[in-house]
Each structure stands twice: as structure tokens, then as C-alpha cells.
């Protein structure tokens, strides 16, 4: 099976702009979770989508949003970018039944 893929791999944006990141899960996986990884904060959970519905949500502001499509692909959107949003954004997919999560390579977002 192909692994989890994320696009783009790198992004450079300026403050105030918005960005959309994409994640394609492993075939057959219905759950996609998003994490923000920074050197100081580790892996912080953003949200999880299962069968097109947000099932869990972390403690991030409303500028961070997501959605999932019928083919389980997921997108994450960040509006009104701030310098502190610079991070590696990882998505992970799972079957949704047994908790094992498999990560994608991440999107490195730099906000200038």
C-alpha cells in the first residue's frame, strides 16, 4: 500500500495570508488527524476527521480549520497567518478502529 502523502512539502507565506495543506491517507483509512510540530512544543493535536466529520478537536484558534472529502483526503486551512504558525504540519491516517496512526512526511510552513 502507498503511504500517507502530503502536499506541498514546503511553503513560504507572509503574515496575514492564508494557506491550504493537503493530506491523502493510506487507501482504506477513514481517519485523518492533523498535528503541528515545533521544536519547543512537540506534537500538538489540531483535529481529526473520520468519514467527513470532525471527531476530535485540539486547542487551536478558529484560524485553523479542516475538512475531509468523501475519498478520505483531507485539507487543513490556516487563515490570517502569524509568525508563530511556522512549523511542520503532519497528518496521520488510521483505519479509525484500532488507533494505529501512520504519519505523512509533513508540510514545512514558514511565515515571514
Partner 1 sequence: GENVEQHPSTLSVQEGDSAVIKCTYSDSASNYFPWYKQELGKRPQLIIDIRSNVGEKKDQRIAVTLNKTAKHFSLHITETQPEDSAVYFCAASMRNEKLTFGTGTRLTIIP
Q: Is 106 in the site for partner 1 (CB under 8 A)?
A: yes
Taking the complex as a whole, how short is the minimal distance between the CB of residue 67 and partner 1, in angstroms? Answer: 17
Q: Is 71 in the site for partner 1 (CB under 8 A)?
A: no
- For 13, residues 6+ apart whose C-beta sits below 8 A from its C-beta are 19, 81, 109, 110, 111, 112
**Minimal CA–CA distance to 36: which of 59, 56, 13?**
59
Taking the complex as a whole, how short is the minimal distance between the CB of residue 26 and partner 1, in angstroms? Answer: 12
Taking the complex as a whole, how short is the minimal distance between the CB of residue 16 and partner 1, in angstroms? Answer: 29
**Minimal CA–CA distance to 90: which of 46, 40, 29, 53?**
46
104 phi and psi angles, rounded to 5 deg = -85, 180
Q: How far apart are CA 45 and CA 35, in angstroms?
A: 5
Among 43, 80, 83, 110, binds partner 1 (CB under 8 A): 43
Q: Is 74 in the site for partner 1 (CB under 8 A)?
A: no
Among 58, 60, 65, 79, binds partner 1 (CB under 8 A): 58
Q: Could you list the residues that contact partner 1 (CB under 8 A)? A: 33, 35, 42-43, 45, 48, 50, 55-56, 58, 90, 96, 99-106
Amino acid at each position: 500500500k502507498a503511504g500517507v502523502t502530503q502536499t506541498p512539502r514546503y511553503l513560504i507565506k507572509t503574515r496575514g495570508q492564508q494557506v491550504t495543506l493537503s493530506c491523502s491517507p493510506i487507501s482504506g483509512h477513514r481517519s485523518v488527524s492533523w498535528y503541528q510540530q515545533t521544536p519547543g512544543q512537540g506534537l500538538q493535536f489540531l483535529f481529526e476527521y473520520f468519514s467527513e466529520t470532525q471527531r476530535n478537536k485540539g486547542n487551536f484558534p478558529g484560524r485553523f480549520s479542516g475538512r475531509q472529502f468523501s475519498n478520505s483526503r483531507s485539507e487543513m486551512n490556516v487563515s490570517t497567518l502569524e509568525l508563530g504558525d511556522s512549523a511542520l504540519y503532519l497528518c496521520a491516517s488510521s483505519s479509525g478502529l484500532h488507533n494505529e496512526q501512520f504519519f505523512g512526511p509533513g508540510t514545512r510552513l514558514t511565515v515571514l
